[in-house]
Amino acid sequence: MRKKIVAGNWKMNNTLDETKKLIKELKKEIKGVKLKGKRVLIAPTFVNLQPAVKKIKKSKIEVIAQNMHQAKNGAFTGEISADMLTDIGVKTVIIGHSERREYFGETDAILAEKVDAALSNNLEVVFCFGEKWEDRKAGNHFKVIEAQLKNALFHLEAGSFKNIILAYEPVWAIGTGQTASADQAQEMHAFIRSLIEKKYNNETADAISILYGGSVKPNNAEEIFSKPDVDGGLIGGASLKAKDFTAIIKAI
Binding residue positions for substrate: 9-11, 175, 215, 236-237
Stretch that binds ligand 13P, among 18-26, 108-116, 141-149, 233-241 (CB under 6 A): 233-241
Give how far the C-alpha of residue 210 lies from the chain's centroid of Cα atoms, to the nearest Å: 9
Contact between 161 and 192 under an 8 Å Cβ cutoff? The reply is no
**Catalytic one among 97, 131, 141, 189?**
97
If we measure between CA atoms, which residue out of 45, 74, 84, 40 comes closest to residue 60? 40
For residues 58 and 19, give the distance between their C-alpha atoms in angstroms, rounded to a whole number. 17
Minimal distance, residue 74 CB to ligand 13P, in Å: 28
246 φψ region: left (φ > 0), alpha (ψ -120 to 50), beta (else): alpha
Q: Kindly determine how many residues on this chain lie close enough to bind ligand 13P according to the rule CB under 6 A.
A: 14
Minimal distance, residue 216 CB to ligand 13P, in Å: 6
* Contact residue for ligand 13P among 44, 96, 170, 213 (CB under 6 A): 213
User: Residue 96, interface with ligand 13P (CB under 6 A)?
Assistant: no
Annotated catalytic residue 169 = yes
Write the interaction track for ligand 13P spanning residues 152-191; mark x where CB under 6 A is met and - where it is not: -----------------x----xx----------------
User: Residue 117, interface with ligand 13P (CB under 6 A)?
Assistant: no
Concatenating the DSSP letter of every residue in 52-68 gives: HHHHTTTSSEEE-BS--
**Torsion 176-103-212-18 (CA) sign:** negative
Contact between 82 and 46 under an 8 Å Cβ cutoff? The reply is no
Residue numbers at the binding site for ligand 13P (CB under 6 A): 9, 97, 169, 174-175, 213-216, 234-238
Q: Could you give the residue numbers annotated as active site?
A: 97, 169
